[in-house]
Amino acid sequence: MGRFLRLTPRYVNDCHALAPARSPASRGVSRVLRDLLIEDELPAHGDVRTLLAAEGSQVQVFAYGRCVSGRDLWVWYRVTESEVRLEALTRGL
């Protein structure tokens, strides 16, 4: 059974600002998302972990981050057996 992507409103807003459609940055982000879907085990070697503020809350959640190759962009995600929840896209760590 494969995983599916769940995009949060914060992630979508970040993408519009940092990786507009059809830009080189958006192509790099797309490669990361594809890799997140096909990885057998997440987090993968090289992914980092941090606390992110949950959207609309003062609560913080653990999230994993993966760098977009050749860009100073990071895709932040949480994972279950059935989904990869995209939490944020940021510039830098």
Question: CA dist 10 to 1, 13, 41, 81, 88, Å?
Answer: 27, 5, 25, 22, 6
Question: CA dist 36 to 47, 56, 60, 64, 76, Å?
Answer: 11, 25, 22, 11, 11
Domain coverage including residue 47? 4-91
**Domains: count for the chain:** 1
Encoded tokens for 77: 């995600």
pLDDT range class, residue 1, cuts 50, 70, 90: low
- For position 31, which CATH number holds? 3.30.2310.20
pLDDT range class, residue 68, cuts 50, 70, 90: very high
- How do residues 7-60 score in pLDDT, each as one tens digit? 999 999 999 999 999 999 999 999 999 999 999 899 999 999 999 987 778 899
| Cβ pair 43, 79 in contact under 8 A | yes
pLDDT at 56: 78
pTM, two decimals, is 0.92
